[in-house]
Structure 1
């Protein structure tokens, strides 16, 4: 899949799954605020998802023409800011 818009969406989905796992890794304890109450398996999974999302977006959210990295923020990436061509992989 070479569509940078879809790849960026997939990266954000993976990122928010990592955020959710990080949230679930820390159980709300109430008064006894203890780090021992953290679920380290979920925290490790969340770190893996967060790193995986970053690597995915850096490798996949690129212009199909000049192969330069596009904005990872929620900017409009219809046109590459580097070469000025459309980022739609079907257009030549």
Structure 2
């Protein structure tokens, strides 16, 4: 996805973190907890400064990420529907 498209998605959704990228289909209407909702989708990619388990500095050792985690974050309503940001990131 081009930088311009990602920037437009970030501006329209209010998400401004430069480490978040968006898939081709970045916004969907979904049923969450039995209620029709709007859900933005993105992936957080970055290189951590320290290992979250052992505390080693990333300059001293190579940090290897294993697996992903999906978080659903509640954001301000859009079109009078509950709105969520579904963010996946490497662990």
With the shorter chain as reference, the TM-score category is under 0.3
From the two aligned structures, give the one with the greater strand fraction.
Answer: 2
Task: Return the TM-score normalized by structure 1.
Answer: 0.21
Task: Return the TM-score normalized by structure 2.
Answer: 0.21
From the two aligned structures, give the one with the greater helix fraction.
Answer: 1
Higher relative contact order (CA 8 A, sep 6+): 1
